[in-house]
Structure 1
Amino acid sequence: MVQQNSTTPTTTPKSAPLVALARYLLAQKYTYTTITPESHKIVLDRRDEKLKNVDLGDVKVTLRDVFGLNVWFTRKCLDLGQDEEGRVLGWLEEAGVLERRKDANGSEVIRSGVRFSTIGTSLYMHSSFPTAFNDSVFLGPDTYRYVDLIRSFVQRLASTPNAIKIKTAIDIGAGSGVGGMELARFCGEYGVEVERVVLGDINEKALEWSLVNAQVAGYVPVDEEANAKNGATTTNGTLNGNGGATHSNGTNGTNGTETNGTSDKPHFPPTTLIQPTTPTTHLHLAYSSYLSTLPSHTPLSLILSNPPYMSSTTHLYSDGGHSSGLGMSLSIIDAAVERLLPGGHLVLYTGVAILDGGRDPLKEYVTGYVEKGRVECVEYREMEVDIWGHELREEGYRDVERMCAVGCVLRKV
């Protein structure tokens, strides 16, 4: 994985210019699929090798170069008209995410401090490359597999007679907001009724950027009166009614991070949005450690999560806790068993360290709950049989023969 070089948070951007920029990219039919950090570095290194004797001032760059590959470039080299380049760079400067440095010749080069990736027809903003800060907001191959798991879950639910209505769903460690927003989109496509989707995270930047991504997708914040009717208030950092949230740090005995945020004093106010075309579904953003944003009496129909799963002492943002990085995933399963309504579901995408001899510790943990009659295992599949192979050299994986990506769907009995 890309080594972390700083724990200093990057500047929090203003949202309006980023929403405008994203909508501009959509209008330009921009597309980009994010690859692994290792593959991304190879592509950048190969490009640098080709251009090592070329003045960057002579190199034209495209929107995909700037917002996907995330290259450094010089002003007036963006392959757009002068006015269009001015608009694009203006949005980045206004948002505070235009990075600058000097090249080997002492000339200024610039770069976008955010990337944009496409998933289906949707566009999502996430952190620049490499993801070097503890508050980085991630999107990559794991995200695409997570979305595939959510889609298959919704398709199955749509074809299940008398399936439980999704009253409240929460995406734990929502990051850029992809899981919850794609859930809402799939529910609309397949005719599954969902009242409210909560995006919860302890990384405030993730929540701020989820808000940008939601607005790009057509969501609009509800007014204060509507917020109150939905049970939301920012008084003393809590939410009342069905939706309520209490700002709390920590992660119930795991490694102290849900995705990658570390703020001791959260300032992101609980925010509710709707899409005018589907106003019956509310999207709610809230600072949340695990399920802390939802009071125990909340009727919880669905839990989604794509938690950190690496065994790491140097990468705070990817550390899944004990048991070869599986600790956070196990805690989410425990929470789901306790909090879901009967008939409710957990949709969990995670990485699993398969131990020597082929033992799968996640499957063993799930089997324990199944044998006790607490849950039904609806789906358990390896979505990728070999990931992060280079990590097997690390101390935390001494007894591991491979890492795999697993999609797990449980139903509360």
Structure 2
Amino acid sequence: MVDVGRWLQSQRYQFITPTPATHALVLGRRTDATASDLRDIFGWNLPFAESLLPTEWMAKLQRSGLVQAWGAGLQRATVRFSTFGSLLFPHSSFPTTQNESVFFGPDTYRFAGLIRRQLSLRPLQGRSRVLDMGCGSGAGGLVAAIHDRTVSPQLVLADISPLALRFAQASAELANVPHVGFSQGDLFNSVAGDFDLVVANPPYLNDGAQRLYRHGGGRWGEALSIRILREGYPRLAPGGRLVLYTGSSISQGGDHLLQAAEAELAAYPCRWSYEEIDPDVFGDELQNPAYADIDRIAAVGLVVQKP
């Protein structure tokens, strides 16, 4: 996977991943059903003729299981590659319907932007320890790690999914980030020590199929976010920060995640800030019975700093 990624980088490959709905719409209106370039193959995940790629790279893709036969002599990539600035991230192919799919999309870009803004306000110092909890592709932790290349933080990418850690390891190699550790397990039970920065972008929906990458638990998908807040704060080093990007269900002007977070944070002598980053995401979810009383779902950022 890393070799393929480095080749794509050498070809100046770029692909910004949209929402699944946009992805489906774009594919639906295309008159050509097969790929014509690298963006079609590894971004839009269109079937392609083997002759579209150099023989050497086609053979590597087949040996590594990164393509599969797709009828009528065509192939289809089993992975997507998305870009954020100079970084390249492999993740699950479209559509992400499997339980352990590794997501990358607009939430990832907003999450990365939140981290960048926080580090611009207060950069990492010296040999900081950074944890990306529920790392998925590793985007959050890697964006933090390269924000200032003169600082070389010790980065831990943690996830419950072995597939996510496989993608995260490839992402770290493609980003040329040193001092990266990987940990599989149930949230903070899988990692040791305290951290100067913890970043997290957990699943925050109430997903009827309870897919790992979408379902946050609780009434509206908020449970995992609150658990990260509850378990993460004690693992901050003095002066450490927790940067949580997640979603909140809003009804009659009330922000349900904020209310739960305020109750948790009341027990700690900390400073914190909270912002709506996007007031309306995943609007189609409001059709589901779990959201019958919800007016909108907002993407939010919660930043907590330990004294």
In structure 2, the CA distance between the partners of 1:98 and 1:304, relative to structure 1 (3 Å rule), is same
Contact 1:164 1:343 in 2 (8 A): no
Match of 2:275 among 381, 384, 392: 381
SS of 2:182's equivalent? strand
In structure 2, the partner of 1:256 is none
2:1 corresponds to 1:24: no
Paired residues of 1:354 and 1:401 also in contact (CA < 8 A): yes
Contact 1:369–1:375 under 8 Å retained in 2: no
Could you say what secondary structure the match of 1:302 adopts?
A: strand
Secondary structure at the counterpart of residue 124 of structure 1: strand
Within the candidate set 172, 187, 191, 1:290 is matched to: 187
Tell me the equivalent position of 1:149: 114
Deviations along 1:180-222, one digit per CA (max 9) or x if unpaired, are 111100132xx5x454110001110111121111111224xxx
Give the letter for the 1:32 counterpart: F
- Tell me: CA distance 1:134–1:370, structure 2 relative to 1, closer, same or farther (3 Å): closer
1:314 is the counterpart of 2:212: no
Q: Distance in 1 between the 2:6 and 2:255 partners?
A: 43
CA distance in 1, matches of 2:189, 2:36: 45
User: Closer, same or farther in 2 for the Cα pair 1:288/1:169, shift >3 Å?
Assistant: farther
Question: Quick check: 1:201 aligned with 2:159?
Answer: yes
> Secondary structure in 1 aligned to 2:99?
coil
1:348 corresponds in structure 2 to 244
1:409 aligns with 2:306: no
Q: Is the 8 A contact 1:370 1:376 kept in 2?
A: no
Structure 2 gaps, min length 5: none
Give the conservation status (yes or no) of the 8 Å contact 1:172–1:200: yes
TM-score (norm 1): 0.70
Tell me, in whole angstroms, the C-alpha distance in 1 between the residues paired with 2:270 and 2:55. Answer: 56
Contact 1:166–1:301 under 8 Å retained in 2: no
Kept in 1, the 8 Å contact 2:15–2:81? The answer is yes
Taking the TM superposition and a 5 Å limit, the aligned residue runs for 1:234-383 are: 274=178, 282-295=179-192, 298-317=193-212, 318-355=214-251, 357-377=252-272, 379-383=273-277
RMSD: 1.9
| Distance in 2, Cα, partners of 1:366 & 1:142 | 20
Displacement after TM superposition at 1:336 (Å): 2.1
Cα deviation for residue 136 of structure 1 reads: 1.3
Match of residue 134 from structure 1 = 99
CA gap 1:368/1:187 in 2 versus in 1, 3 angstroms: farther
TM-score of the pair, normalised by structure 2: 0.94
Note closer, same or farther for the CA distance 1:132–1:370 as it changes in structure 2 (3 Å cut).
closer
Task: Report if aligned partners of 1:174, 1:199 keep a CA contact under 8 Å in 2.
Answer: yes
Shift of residue 380 of structure 1? 1.5
Residues 343/194 of structure 1: CA separation in 2 closer, same or farther (3 Å cut)? farther
1:39-60, Cα deviation, whole Å (9 max, x unpaired): 000011111xx24xxxx6xx66
Aligned counterparts, 1:70-219, within 5 A: 70-76=45-51, 78=52, 84-102=53-71, 107-158=72-123, 167-188=128-149, 193=151, 195-219=153-177
Q: Distance in 1 between matches of 2:57 and 2:278?
A: 37
Secondary structure, aligned partner of 1:322: coil
Deviation at 1:123? 0.7
Cα deviation 1:110-141 (Å, max 9, x = unaligned)? 11111111100111111110012122111110
- Which residue number in structure 1 is paired with residue 292 of structure 2? 398
Partner secondary structure for residue 302 of structure 2:
strand
1:292 is paired with a residue whose SS is helix
**Displacement of 1:166:** 6.1
* Greater Cα offset, 363-372 or 126-135: 363-372
One-letter amino acid of the structure 2 residue matched with residue 217 of structure 1 = A
Aligned length: 306
1:395 is displaced (CA, Å) by 0.9
Unpaired segments ≥5 residues, structure 1:
1-17, 79-83, 220-273, 275-281
Counterpart residue type for residue 125 of structure 1: P
Aligned partners of 2:107 and 2:117: how far apart in 1? Answer: 16
8 Å Cα contact 2:196-2:241 kept in structure 1:
yes
42, 47, 54: which one aligns with 2:25: 42
- One-letter amino acid of the structure 1 residue matched with residue 256 of structure 2: P
Q: Is the 8 A contact 1:164 1:301 kept in 2?
A: no
Deviation at 1:313, TM superposition (A): 2.6
SS in structure 2 opposite 1:291?
Answer: helix
Structure 1 residues 70, 60: CA separation in 2 closer, same or farther (over 3 Å shift)? closer
Query: Which amino acid counterpart does residue 287 of structure 2 have in structure 1?
Result: R
Q: What secondary structure, in the 3-state scheme, does the structure 2 residue paired with 1:45 have?
A: helix
Quote the offset at 1:365 in angstroms: 2.6
